[in-house]
Amino acid sequence: MNPSYYQLGETNTEAVNAFLSRLVQNTVTDLENAYCIQTDQDENSISPLFLGRIASYYYLKYKTVHLFYDRLNSTCSVEDLLSLLADAEEYAELPVRHNEDGLCAQLAKTLDLPSRPMSFDSPHTKALLLLWSHLSRGQLPSPDFATDAKSVLDQAIRILQAMLDAAANCGWLVTALVVTQLVQMLVQARWVHDETLLTVPNVEKRHLALLKKLGMQVGTNAGAYHGPAEVLPELMEACKGRQEAFEILLRRAEMPAQQIKQAWTYLSQLPMLFVSMSVCDTETKTAVQVDIGLDANIRDARRWIRLLPGQEHVLVINIQRKQLARSRFDGKGQAPRFPKQKDEGWILMLGLRDSRELVALKRIGALRGGRGSVTLSFSTPKTVGRCIYTVYVMSDSYLGLDQQYDLHADVSLGVSA
């Protein structure tokens, strides 16, 4: 044994026992101060807290989840979450090689970063620059930076999943939605404010005007989409059975044949979700179908579903997945700019509109069979009155394909109807 390696003064039994006791006590103190565990001196016991559980589940360092405690709040922005992600302890050993501080400073000048003091020899600053550059599809200054970017992205989704759990545990709807958007952004290498048509491989801003006209060009066909394809779902609708029209359009824009093929492969395998919902009272066992297709012009009274106050209810969400391609869906997401293969998945949230409270959250994996069903449990308020729940069906892989529906609850003493 090398005593100096362990900072152990002596190697006799008494000294080793004392050293181990101090080591255990210091570790327990660190974890307790990070709100990962709680100790009970009377019972001489240790029990995990929520942050400790998610650190264990996602294999995160305790200092990272302590950062969640310190910096997450109910109204975090994308920029707030990116900064928090970059400061995760998992990036503390990201290499900043000789003279790379200068390269980091140059990279920062090319990116539209918020004005803030930066230490360019910090691994966390480098992590932030790599994340920002990935979202901006910027040019990295060296192959080493590209290797480091893969390492940063490889860990980012896991950290964000834990961040989402932390926000959900606090009932922070806005932050949970923004965390989910950030996951989508990193997988697709685009900012949430970018036009969603730009997520299609090889499509650039100069192609947008042509693609937006596609819906109008096929609008004379029976059952075809009528209107400009402004966003990704509209482009998918306009391309139903119209692969040739899509390809002709991009050939006019002088896009090479191989790039057109890549663009169509991506577009044709994107998910198209069809959602239906019902609410079940767990006590009376009565189920009420939620008509999510009601037109805004229909009488207001038809929108409200009567639910009993103070009762546990279950929202059942049925999902059907389709795609333009006739090939069988293999469960894999389309993520050409993400460094590793990504399974397609979905995050379902139930929130209260007025209070911005997250009521329930559940994740589901890829819908390989084309269908899936999810249940979200919630309790109605104890007082009678009306409230609006919002159901969010969000992708964990794609930008611009999220759906949301309002559930109008009339909490009253009458029988659910």
Identify the sign of the CA torsion 75, 191, 185, 231.
Answer: positive
Please indicate, yes or no, if residue 312 is contained in any of the structural domains.
Answer: yes
Q: For residue range 14-73, list pLDDT tens digits in order.
A: 888 888 888 888 888 889 988 898 888 777 788 999 999 999 999 999 999 999 999 999
CB 408 within 8 A of CB 388: yes
Please indicate, yes or no, if residue 8 is contained in any of the structural domains.
Answer: no
Measured distance CA(10)–CA(108) in Å, rounded: 50
- In this prediction, residue 417 carries a pLDDT of 46
- In this prediction, residue 135 carries a pLDDT of 97
- In this prediction, residue 163 carries a pLDDT of 98
- In this prediction, residue 225 carries a pLDDT of 54
Strand 403-411 relative to strand 304-307: parallel, antiparallel, unpaired? parallel
Q: For residue range 152-193, list pLDDT tens digits in order.
A: 999 999 999 999 999 999 999 999 999 999 999 999 999 999
Of all helices (H) and strands (E), which one includes residue 20? helix 13-33
- In this prediction, residue 4 carries a pLDDT of 63
- In this prediction, residue 220 carries a pLDDT of 46
Measured distance CA(107)–CA(132) in Å, rounded: 10
Residues of the chain with pLDDT under 70: 1-5, 215-226, 293-302, 414-417
Q: Are residues 344 and 385 in the same domain?
A: yes
- In this prediction, residue 291 carries a pLDDT of 74
Please indicate, yes or no, if residue 7 is contained in any of the structural domains.
Answer: no
CATH of the domain at 309: 2.60.40.150
Cβ neighbours for 74, distance < 8 A, ≥ 6 positions apart: 170, 172, 174, 175, 356
Total-model pTM? 0.91
Count of structural domains, the chain: 4
Measured distance CA(115)–CA(314) in Å, rounded: 46
Please indicate, yes or no, if residue 5 is contained in any of the structural domains.
Answer: no
Q: Are residues 309 and 220 in the same domain?
A: no
- In this prediction, residue 29 carries a pLDDT of 87
Cα–Cα distances in angstroms (integers) from residue 416 to residues 24, 204, 288, 341, 374, in the given order: 56, 52, 8, 46, 21
Please indicate, yes or no, if residue 354 is contained in any of the structural domains.
Answer: yes
Measured distance CA(304)–CA(138) in Å, rounded: 49
Q: Are residues 173 and 295 in the same domain?
A: no
Q: Are residues 355 and 326 in the same domain?
A: yes
Q: Are residues 76 and 32 in the same domain?
A: no
Q: Are residues 143 and 217 in the same domain?
A: no
Q: Are residues 86 and 155 in the same domain?
A: yes
CB 197 within 8 A of CB 231: yes
Q: Are residues 131 and 238 in the same domain?
A: no
Q: Are residues 96 and 182 in the same domain?
A: yes
Residue 13 CB coordination number (10 Å): 8
Structure tokens at 347: 């995050």
Which residue in 162, 165, 130, 164 sits closest to 148, CA to CA? 130
- In this prediction, residue 240 carries a pLDDT of 84
CATH of the domain at 175: 1.10.3380.10
* Concatenated DSSP letters of 268-322: HTS-EEEEEEEEEETTT--EEEE-TT--TTS-GGGGEEEE-TT-EEEEEEEEEEE
Q: Are residues 390 and 299 in the same domain?
A: yes
Q: Are residues 149 and 163 in the same domain?
A: yes
- In this prediction, residue 10 carries a pLDDT of 79
Phi, psi of 270 (to 5 degrees): -70, 145
Last residue of one domain, picked from the residues 168, 187, 206:
187
Q: Are residues 283 and 396 in the same domain?
A: yes
Measured distance CA(325)–CA(241) in Å, rounded: 9
Quote the DSSP letter at residue 170.
T
Domain containing residue 235: 196-268
Please indicate, yes or no, if residue 92 is contained in any of the structural domains.
Answer: yes
Cα–Cα distances in angstroms (integers) from residue 305 to residues 312, 347, 376, 403, in the given order: 15, 24, 17, 21
48 exposure class (CB count in 10 Å sphere: 0-12, 13-18, 19+): middle
